[in-house]
């Protein structure tokens, strides 16, 4: 995951090529819109790197269709409105968002933004193809290093029935 500015400053083609050379397979760009992504689409196609765009709870069907046109890999469905960060609860509307995305694309749909508990991971796994956890890992690392991040991973996996 990267904001667009570092990619642009690095060089769009160079970033995609270097990422592929380092065995990277894709990039989530949360602040890049499909309308502004022409250079990125070309560079990632050429370098064989997936590009992941986001849809929000507020996305119209037209917007979801546009995102689906340019996304490869998977579509990232935001579980909450607003910025990233762990939440105690997620919107009940996210299941409907995933259903709407599936009407426009056969790509996997992964849900993230705010996911931090095994219960949330379990609930999301019932209707989405993937569960994305980011900020909770950053917090765990800040508070307890790799050991805390490992414990969080085990706890989240238990919510998926994988421990």
- Residues 156, 160, 163, CA angle at the centre, nearest 5°? 75
B/e letters for 33-60, b = 16+ CB within 10 Å, e = fewer, are ebeebeebbebbeebebebbbbbbeebe
pLDDT tens by residue, 104-146: 999 999 998 878 888 888 889 999 999 999 888 999 999 999 9
Terminal Cα-to-Cα distance of the chain (whole angstroms): 26
- Residues 19, 25, 31, CA angle at the centre, nearest 5°? 80
Is 90 exceeded by the pLDDT of residue 81? no
Is 60 exceeded by the pLDDT of residue 86? no
Three-state DSSP class for residue 142: helix
Same domain, 104 and 129: yes
Is 90 exceeded by the pLDDT of residue 151? yes
pLDDT tens by residue, 87-112: 444 557 889 999 999 999 999 999 98
> For residue 33, how far is the Cα from the chain centroid?
14
Out of 46-50, 70-74, 153-157, pick the least confident: 153-157
Three-state DSSP class for residue 129: coil
Question: pLDDT value at position 90?
Answer: 54
Same domain, 48 and 84: no
Identify the CA nearest to 121 among candidates 156, 162, 85, 84: 156
* Alpha carbon distance 34, 60 (integer Å): 14
The pLDDT mean for the chain works out to 90
**For residue 127, what is the domain's CATH number?**
3.20.20.70
Question: Where does the pLDDT of residue 162 fall: very low under 50, low under 70, confident under 90, or very high at 90 and above?
Answer: low
Domain count, the chain: 2
8 Å CB contact between 85 and 78: no
Same domain, 140 and 77: yes
Q: What is the residue range of 15's domain?
A: 1-52
Same domain, 40 and 66: no
Last residue of some domain: 14, 31, 52? 52
Q: pTM for this one? A: 0.86
Is 60 exceeded by the pLDDT of residue 44? yes
Same domain, 43 and 67: no
Same domain, 43 and 105: no
8 Å CB contact between 131 and 98: no
pLDDT over 70, % of the chain: 91
């Amino acid at each position: 995951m990267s904001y667009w500015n570092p990619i642009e400053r690095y060089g769009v083609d160079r970033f995609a090529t270097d990422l592929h050379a380092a065995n990277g397979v894709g990039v989530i760009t949360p602040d890049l819109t499909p309308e502004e992504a022409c250079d990125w689409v070309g560079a990632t196609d050429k370098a064989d790197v997936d590009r992941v765009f986001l849809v929000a709870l507020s996305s119209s069907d037209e917007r979801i269709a546009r995102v689906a046109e340019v996304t490869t890999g998977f579509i990232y469905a935001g579980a909450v409105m607003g910025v990233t960060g762990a939440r105690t609860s997620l919107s009940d509307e996210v299941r409907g968002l995933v259903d709407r995305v599936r009407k426009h694309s056969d790509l996997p749909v992964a849900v993230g933004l705010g996911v931090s508990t095994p219960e949330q991971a379990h609930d999301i796994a019932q209707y989405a193809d993937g569960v994305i956890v980011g900020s909770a890992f950053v917090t765990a690392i800040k508070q307890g290093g790799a050991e805390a991040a490992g414990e969080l991973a085990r706890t989240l996996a238990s919510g998926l029935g994988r421990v």
